[in-house]
Structure 1
């Protein structure tokens, strides 16, 4: 991008009151390089190409009109995509990726999508960046498991590491075993890693994730269940945080389904750092027998089965809608911030009723409360913000915060948040403690 293009983008963001952190701005800059200068809240009349920044919440009819106006040469970026009000439009588009919030400097999640992957798939064909393919299989299962994968890698001339590992069961690999293998590969190699199951074959060069320059790329089965069958890790600090979080969760819950644990690692990491995630197209997670299997980049040999989703049977219903829209759910903190306060106490702020409120009011309240914590933490060493659509979400968020022994506060969209918001509540806590000790 030229200096003039950067200046024009700065003016557009300032005019729209859009705050972006460094990682979010880098993603937007990359998209400008692909699509050209963006427009803000585009006119819904006529066909649209190029990049559209969507700040205002569209009505159902407006979302339908915008969808019909888009072309494969266009993309939509939503800088405040944590609001459920954008979910309807997202459901009509192909979801390309998300970038998590960046603290007070970039307090919102950004989402980007469009009308199919054709533009990026074509552009990726010219990419010189190639990941190292890594895979593992149970030592007791025999080398024939990976023969098809090895042959396809030789044909495509891709660097790889395929290993038989010791496992508890001869016929499958548990999540903690796979995560430990991935950590070893991360420590051993310096290039980006693309894990595929040993029974898969590669039909084409898997260049899309490297071309998109993301931290992590994976496929969501049914648009919400995260799959670890195809998992890309860019060579970034944020990708390593996700990998370490996944390994720790898998070690703590060895019997839990790997998709659930990957989902939780993604949510945890996204709340703490601006994780740049790409949601891979089905061609990177195709199954034998699929209608589109002939066009697959990665073809898996077994049907996907959803076994146990984890220790909480309510998990699926709780976050299904949010994951389909690239958002975190009510039990997951949307954002975590820390301060230099020496105390180890934390505070959880629950922003309720976000589904029934205007997206602008939700965004303004998120900005106000994160800005207040950055200005004066009130002595709280850790701050977690949860966004709750309904009252049952509030209950789940309260339970999670109580387990961590956090001070819990509820606020509503549009509520005035002063710069001393946290200091004032810390002062109230001190008064309550004094009254308890000295009645």
Structure 2
């Protein structure tokens, strides 16, 4: 991107009141370089190319008109995509990725998508960054599949590490065993890592994630269940945070389905660092019986009807909805901020009624809360901000905060948030404590 283009983009974002953190701006700059000049636009007039930045949700006829007007030469960026009001439009588009909130400097989640993967899939072949393919199989597993995978990787001139590992069970690998293997590979090699199951067949070099230059890339089975069968890890500190969080959760809960543990690790990490996530297309996670299996990049040795990827029918519906839209759900903290001065107490701020409120008011309140905490934390060492659409969400967020013994504050969109918001509540807490000690 030239200095002139960057300057034009700076002015456009400033005019539109859009605040982006460094990681989000890097992704937007990359998209502008790929697609062309950005605009704020509701219904493009048959645009042939360019980046369209949406500030307000579209629904009903407006969303349909917007969708029909797009071409594969357009990218759509939603810089405040944590708002459920955008979910309907997202469901009509191809979801490329998300970049998590960046604290007070970029206090929103950024979503990007478009019409199909064709543009990226064709360009990925020219990627100069090539991942190391890693895979493992259980101690009682068949080495034939591993040998076949290694042969394919040699044909594509891709470096690899395929290993038989000691496992608790002869016929399968538990989540903590896979996570420990990935951490070991992370420490051993310096390239980006792409994990694929040993029984997979590669029909072409899987270069899309490294071409996109993200922190992590994975496929969402049924659009919401995170799968660990294809998992890309870029060489960033944010990726390392995700990997270690996944390892810790897997070690603590070894009996829980690995996709759910990865989901929770993603939620925790995205709330604390601006994780740049790519949601891989089905061609990177095809199963036997898929209509497009012959055109797949990675074909896994499973039938399309397999239940292995989603063994938990009780998975909370509220989380399913959020994952389909590539965002955190109300039962997860949207954003976590920590103060420079370490203190033991934390505060949970619950922003309620976000679905029934104007998107601009919700965004402004998020910015006001994070800005106030950055200016004066009031002695609270940790802030967890949760966005809740319904009263049930509020109850779940309150329960989670109570378990952590956090101070809980509930606010509404549009509510005035002064710069001393946290300091004043800390002072009220001190007065209340003094009255309890000295009635």
**Cα shift readout 1:60-102 (whole Å, capped 9, x = no counterpart):** 2111111000001111000000000000000000000000000
Q: Secondary structure at the match of 2:385?
A: strand
Which structure 2 residue ranges, 5 or more long, are not aligned? Answer: none
Separation of aligned partners in 1, 2:342 and 2:307: 47
Q: Which runs of 5+ in 1 are unaligned?
A: none
Are the aligned partners of 2:59 and 2:89 in contact in 1 as well (CA < 8 Å)?
no
1:37-436 pair list within 5 angstroms: 37-303=37-303, 304-306=306-308, 314-436=314-436
Deviations 1:128-172 (A, max 9, x none): 211000000001113123233122112212100000001111111
Give TM-score scaled by structure 1 length.
0.97
**Residues 256 and 309, structure 1, Cα contact 8 Å, conserved in 2:** no
Contact 2:44 2:70 in 1 (8 A): no
CA separation in 1, counterparts of 2:147 and 2:128? Answer: 26
Deviations along 1:325-361, one digit per CA (max 9) or x if unpaired, are 0110112110000112342100000001111111111
* SS of structure 2 residue aligned to 1:242: helix
SS in 2 for 1:246: helix
1:4-48 CA-to-partner distances (Å, cap 9, x unmatched) read 111100000000000000000000000010011101124444345
Is the 8 Å Cα contact of residues 309 and 316 (structure 1) preserved in structure 2? no
Structure 2: distance between partners of 1:344 and 1:10:
39
SS at match of 2:302: coil
Find the aligned partners of 2:316 and 2:138 in 1 and give their Cα distance: 29
2:55 & 2:31 partners in 1: Cα distance? 17
**Which region of structure 1 is more displaced relative to structure 2, 186-195 or 349-358?**
349-358
Task: Output the CA distance in 1 between the equivalents of 2:141 and 2:217.
Answer: 28
8 Å contact from structure 2 (residues 225, 310) kept in 1: no
Q: Answer yes or no: is the 8 Å Cα contact 1:216–1:276 preserved in 2.
A: yes
| Equivalent-residue separation in structure 2 for 1:3 and 1:46 (angstroms) | 28
Deviation >4 Å, runs of 4+:
306-310
Q: Matches of 1:251 and 1:359 in 2, distance apart?
A: 40
Give the Cα separation in 2 of the matches to 1:90 and 1:46: 19
**Distance across 1 between alignment mates of 2:42 and 2:76:** 10
Distance 1:32 1:172 in 2: 44
Matched-pair contact (CA < 8 Å) for 2:46–2:71: no
Which whole-Å CA distance do the structure 1 matches of 2:128 and 2:46 have between them? Answer: 37
Distance between the aligned counterparts of 2:134 and 2:209, measured in 1?
A: 15
TM, length-normalised to structure 2:
0.97
Pairing 1:4-19 to 2, within 5 Å after superposition: 4-19=4-19
Judge conservation of contact 1:175–1:254 (CA < 8 Å) in 2. yes
For 1:91 and 1:332, the matched residues in 2 are separated by: 21
Match in the other structure for 1:35: 35
Alignment match, 1:438: 438
- Partner-residue secondary structure (3-state), 1:379: coil
Partners of 1:338 and 1:382 within 8 A in 2: yes
Tell me the matched-pair count.
437
Measured against aligned partners, the alpha-carbon deviations of 1:358-400 in whole angstroms (never above 9, x if no partner) come to 1111100000000000011000000000011111111111111
Structure 1 CA distance for aligned equivalents of residues 166 and 249 of structure 2: 20
Residue-by-residue CA offset, 1:282-323 (whole Å, 9 max, x unaligned): 00000011110000000000134247767xx75331200000
d(CA) in 1 for partners of 2:48 and 2:363?
Answer: 26
